[in-house]
């Protein structure tokens, strides 16, 4: 296990370095700069601005300065939110997005696995058809429609939950459900198809022949194997949900990271964009590593080799 983890740690550093480099190159070759939308200023003032953000040198010099700063855990200063360091913006905005993403991930994974398993065990019944129809409906409706619909029904009509905002448990329910809804459908469909394949396997027929009921055979043996493809999907999903959603955060008036990440592209805020990419890449690498480790815990036939 340890050699595998060390090898993955080394390869992860290389992956993150490559992603940082590609992001830097793409940001530099894109037309326009972070100060193009500012009011007309003299060349002297523009040079001072570029020098402040270390954007006055050649591209290789800028790259070396940027990589050196990141090596010292310095993500730079935002060119849009003046006098704000990228790390400060992330510390301010990421906690809300992390909390929302964590709750949404738990809802999506638990509800999706349950519905998918139930649909597979009740194949071709009204339960199966209803679950798959609901999954198709959830995938088809975008968040900017499902969000206002949830607000209209549960906040304005029934009055059970607040319209928006963040900070209390009741304010977290609607945005978490809205963000998780399409992924519940993806997980449910994936779990159903995987479990249907496992139910036809030889080892499950052997378990039934030894006297286990269908429910016992599925719970003790089939789920652990059928859930492996789902876990593969859940790794990248966790990274995606934890880094925020601009649409859901806007609909429910949540001060999160989703909006500033999207705005960093529109505003050509190269340092904030780089910080967003680094956060997403690190999370993606970590959760993919967790997936590999969880594989070995669920299926003893899978080994981690150095």
Q: Where are the domains of the chain?
A: 2-71, 86-298
For residue 256, what are its two tokens? 């999160």
CA 257 to chain centre: 12
Predicted local distance difference test score (pLDDT) of residue 103: 92
Fold of domain 86-298: MetI-like fold (1.10.3720)
273 pLDDT above the threshold of 90: no
Residue 38: pLDDT over 60: no
Mean pLDDT score of the chain: 81
How far is it, in rounded angstroms, from Cα 271 to Cα 28? 12
Q: How many whole angstroms separate alpha carbon 79 and alpha carbon 253?
A: 24
pLDDT at 34: 65
pLDDT tens figures, 279-289: 888 888 888 88
Q: What does the pLDDT read at residue 305?
A: 56
In this prediction the pTM is 0.81
Per-residue pLDDT tens for 92-111?
888 888 888 899 999 999 99
pLDDT over 70 (residue 174)? yes
pLDDT tens-digit profile of 151-166? Answer: 888 888 888 888 877 7
Q: What is the pLDDT of residue 136?
A: 86
Work out the percent of the chain whose per-residue pLDDT is above 70: 90
Over residues 204-250, the pLDDT tens digits come to 777 777 777 777 777 777 787 888 888 888 888 888 888 778 788 88
Name, of 24-33, 57-66, 99-108, 165-174, the range with top average pLDDT.
99-108
CA 58, 60, 65: angle at the middle one, nearest 5? 95
pLDDT at site 66: 85
Instruction: Please report, in angstroms and rounded to a whole number, the separation of the first and last CA atoms in the chain.
Output: 8
Interval 173-198 mean pLDDT: 89
The answer to whether residue 293 scores a pLDDT higher than 90 is no
Residue 184 has pLDDT above 70, yes or no: yes
**Alpha-carbon gap, residue 70 to 20, rounded angstroms:** 9
């Amino acid at each position: 296990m340890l050699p595998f983890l060390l090898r993955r740690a080394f390869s992860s550093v290389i992956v993150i370095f490559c992603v940082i480099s590609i992001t830097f190159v793409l940001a530099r070759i894109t037309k326009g700069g972070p100060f193009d939308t500012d009011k007309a200023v003299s060349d002297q003032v523009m040079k001072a601005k570029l020098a402040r953000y270390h954007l006055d040198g050649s591209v290789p010099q800028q790259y070396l300065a940027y990589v050196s700063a990141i090596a010292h855990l310095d993500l730079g200063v935002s060119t849009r939110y003046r006098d704000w360091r990228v790390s400060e913006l992330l510390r301010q905005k990421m906690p809300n997005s992390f909390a929302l993403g964590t709750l949404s991930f738990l809802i999506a994974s638990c509800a999706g696995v349950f519905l998918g398993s139930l649909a597979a065990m009740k194949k071709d019944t009204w339960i199966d058809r209803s679950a798959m129809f609901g999954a198709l409906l959830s995938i088809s409706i975008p968040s900017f429609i499902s969000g206002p619909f949830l607000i209209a029904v549960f906040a304005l009509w029934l009055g059970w939950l607040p319209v928006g905002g963040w900070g209390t448990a009741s304010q977290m329910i609607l945005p978490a459900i809205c963000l998780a809804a399409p992924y519940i459908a993806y997980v449910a469909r994936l779990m159903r198809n995987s479990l249907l394949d496992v139910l036809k396997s030889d080892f499950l027929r052997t378990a039934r022949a030894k006297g286990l009921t269908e429910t016992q055979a599925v719970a003790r043996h089939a789920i652990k194997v059928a859930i492996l493809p789902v876990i593969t999907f859940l790794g990248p999903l966790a990274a995606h949900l934890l880094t925020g959603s601009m649409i859901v955060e806007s609909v429910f008036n949540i001060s999160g990271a989703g909006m500033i990440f999207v705005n960093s592209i529109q505003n050509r805020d190269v340092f904030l964009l780089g910080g967003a990419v680094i956060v997403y890449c690190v999370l993606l690498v970590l959760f993919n590593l967790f997936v590999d480790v969880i594989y070995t815990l669920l299926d003893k036939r899978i080994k981690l080799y150095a």
